[in-house]
Structure 1
């Protein structure tokens, strides 16, 4: 299986080595390593050069203070320079949790940053990886439609039923984390969303509860997610595994 969304550069060095070793051994087929800022983009690129099964994605994570124009320009240059080698633009999106902490936050500059990346994804024909949940997802869907971007991945998505239906009609991908084992909201999403539009991810090093409490988040946790998806969809584990792998490889053009 391929982890569709992981912050590999956020792990401690010794934890990175564990994951990289398992990638080399073939225990995991690959990971889509997203970036969060300029330094993160550079570190993710280094991890990709170290291990070809680390598939890089460059972007700027929205749950932080706004970047300078110089930083955004540098990230865009990296995307353009390596657009044939990266698999996507991301993680990008809107600051849902930051807004909850700071009610007075002006989101218009964040929307402008996101739109810049959406335009770039359209120009370079790259998938885009999105941090956009609840009401923010409607704004993002509007932007995607305006710029005619179809290859969109809403990672660890949560949102209203009408938004989910809109995303399904548009053919946008979602990815499911190990919290599908204990979060009813995620289970309902899995039940509603078409199997051919679902991938699995860890969003590591984010740590999970339930059976994963106290553990380092590792891509091998995806197996339990796939088991749960198979159960919800009423299909075999083998069928679910094959579909998840096909979905991820097809969306990210991973051979």
Structure 2
């Protein structure tokens, strides 16, 4: 029987309804205790709230995903008001961050408006003492670290993090968490990161419905894949798999106050 797991980062609202229903139906079968379902924008937050109200194992986070065009000020204000209203139902602020991949495609996109929006959400996380779920990779990660340090806030979860050695060491020192996706089975960069990052600051995620390659090629991304990720983490760290299961599970419960 599979040990209990928590998917620390999934976009459950972005699945086709039939696929999302299948995932929820199969949670118990695969030992999935909870899903941290992050939001893209206000309508996404509404849907995640509805999903959470239908099944208590779904834990919603509300935020604005940075890999999209800057919204109107009124849209961000409406989202922040939504967070204020449903703060007791919200597990975290997220997903928020900076648009690294979007700026690779569109070099003329200004970064400053995204930094301003991110700062608003960090302020809100600080005010409510809620974890913040961050999309910040490579050159963007140090900028996000600076903002977090400005507010002396360390309840930070960098999902699917990728970055240089100096930034990785800085994040470890600051007590930030990262989460590992199923691409650990075939991506050397992620394997090296998992080896270096302390187990005490790790979680596991799928980022579904984002698809994966390797042994998961052409499969619907499902939280059950996390079991394979954990086996790989245990192998890379040369640790007992039962201990790795337990530490990852307890990390996530403690970080998200589950």
Q: What TM bracket, shorter-length normalisation?
A: over 0.9
Q: Does 1:82 align with 2:86?
A: yes
CA contact (8 A) 1:122 1:148 kept: no
Cα separation, 2, equivalents of 1:87 and 1:189: 26
Q: 1:25: how far off?
A: 5.7
Alignment map for 1:173-252 (pairs within 5 Å)? 173-252=177-256
Q: 1:125: how far off?
A: 0.3
Q: Deviations over 1:58-96 (max 9, x none)?
A: 000000000111211111111111212211000000000
- Structure 1: runs of 5 or more not aligned: none
Residue 120 of structure 2 is aligned with which of 116, 120, 138?
Answer: 116
C-alpha RMSD of the superposition: 0.9
CA contact (8 A) 1:90 1:130 kept: yes
Cα separation, 2, equivalents of 1:25 and 1:219: 11
What residue is the counterpart of 2:59 in the other structure?
55
What residue is the counterpart of 2:135 in the other structure?
131
Residue 162 of structure 1 is aligned with which of 160, 163, 166?
Answer: 166
TM-score (norm 2): 0.97
Residue 46 of structure 2 is aligned with which of 42, 47, 50?
Answer: 42
Q: Which moved more, 1:180-189 or 1:26-35?
A: 26-35
Q: Which moved more, 1:119-128 or 1:21-30?
A: 21-30
Question: Secondary structure of the equivalent of 2:193?
Answer: helix
What residue is the counterpart of 2:23 in the other structure?
19
TM-score (norm 1): 0.98
- Structure 2: runs of 5 or more not aligned: none
CA contact (8 A) 2:30 2:224 kept: no
